[in-house]
Structure 1
């Protein structure tokens, strides 16, 4: 209540209930004005896809509440703030009192629920990133942080990628360190999960693999041709023996 009134204020209210025996009376202030959720134009004004600007009123671990007009608040989930930045808490993006432009994602008048999104005001850049970061492509990346599992990498266009520990090994056997900017190769790309996995080790280790594969392929091909010719030779000798036996049988009958 302290956000709305202070002790000593004179306000107008509507009587909601009256209990003479208990000498109790409940009052309401919002009942003096029309409930904005019951307005006939609610479905049109806040139709899915419509764009609005509101004021950030509250921050939570899962998102923020945005006031579009008095009595109309909507929720912006933390995952709907940015296409590219991995935001753990909305305080990393906005603060209470900031204005934020949003698009309506879902409207449920009966349950007074309004889902909003900020990133939806722009096209999904991951549709383009799919062609920029295909598997096998090489990019200059800076190591931002490291842990036991691997390292977070800073890619072009403000994106983040990840490399496991085994893919941080350099050609001389040492490990890539935080702050270093080196070439990495994309080993996995997921547009739906917004995940890019890379490897520095693949920059020098995979170059020797094609030659080995080619040698193995030739070896397999040679052994295959040898093994395939053997049955043919046996088959031919067997046919000759059968013909000889048949000839002998025919001559014996004569």
Structure 2
């Protein structure tokens, strides 16, 4: 009887070629990913690695439950093996491959380019005991600033002094596109600014106090603005 009907996987492939977007209901959650009910009474699978660009699949899958309606992109249709691979993260661009990220390791990046040594503005999205979770402005990248990297002075290394939604400047201390890791530090930025201020406005044997030197640097920065 089934030979009198069109193969449902062939029908799906004709109607939804690779790269097209589909919508379906979460039928099941497994240790490998999500099974989504699609047109033609076939299921597509979203592998854990295709759920989110920046979070581990084991963490991202917790956002979904049976019965949820999701949108995804068709990645592959294997008619012979009766398998359909779809991805949710592919609906958004890869933050590590965008024009605003760079793989260089120089201290200074080009305008709008992220690389090790770049100074970025971050928004606090969560405050935890061990540090703060931040989102880098203008990107979809998130990073965790641990307590020891919150400030140069130990007394200021307190996560509770930050609040959700607050904007902070930090320095990128790690940018690894292959490992998909980005790390930022407020402490590293403060240390770099202090070194620059001393180099420009005074030295250890000039007789000027650190407060005087930093005050001159801040005044010069404000005048530039």
What interval of TM-score do these two structures reach, taking the shorter chain for normalisation?
0.5 to 0.7
**Residue pairs, 1:234-249, within 5 angstroms:** none
CA 1:172–1:90 in structure 2 vs 1: closer, same or farther (change >3 Å)? closer
2:36 maps to 66
Give the length in aligned residue pairs: 181
Give a deviation string over 1:89-123, Cα, whole Å, max 9, x none: 4241x332232222111222222221101222333
- In angstroms, what is the RMSD of aligned CA positions? 3.4
Question: In the alignment, does 2:134 pair up with 1:153?
Answer: yes
1:138 maps to 120
Local SS of the residue matching 1:152: strand
Question: In the alignment, does 2:121 pair up with 1:121?
Answer: no
1:196 maps to 182
Local SS of the residue matching 1:207: helix
Structure 2 unaligned residues grouped into runs of 5+: 102-111, 204-225
State the Cα distance separating 1:134 from its structure 2 match.
3.3
TM-score under structure 2 length normalisation: 0.63
TM-score under structure 1 length normalisation: 0.57
2-structure distance, mates of 1:91, 1:33: 41
CA 1:165–1:177 in structure 2 vs 1: closer, same or farther (change >3 Å)? closer
CA 1:38–1:107 in structure 2 vs 1: closer, same or farther (change >3 Å)? closer
Local SS of the residue matching 2:43: strand
Q: Is the 8 A contact 1:85 1:159 kept in 2?
A: no
State the Cα distance separating 1:50 from its structure 2 match.
2.5
Structure 1 unaligned residues grouped into runs of 5+: 1-13, 15-30, 216-254
1:108 maps to 78
Larger Rg: 1
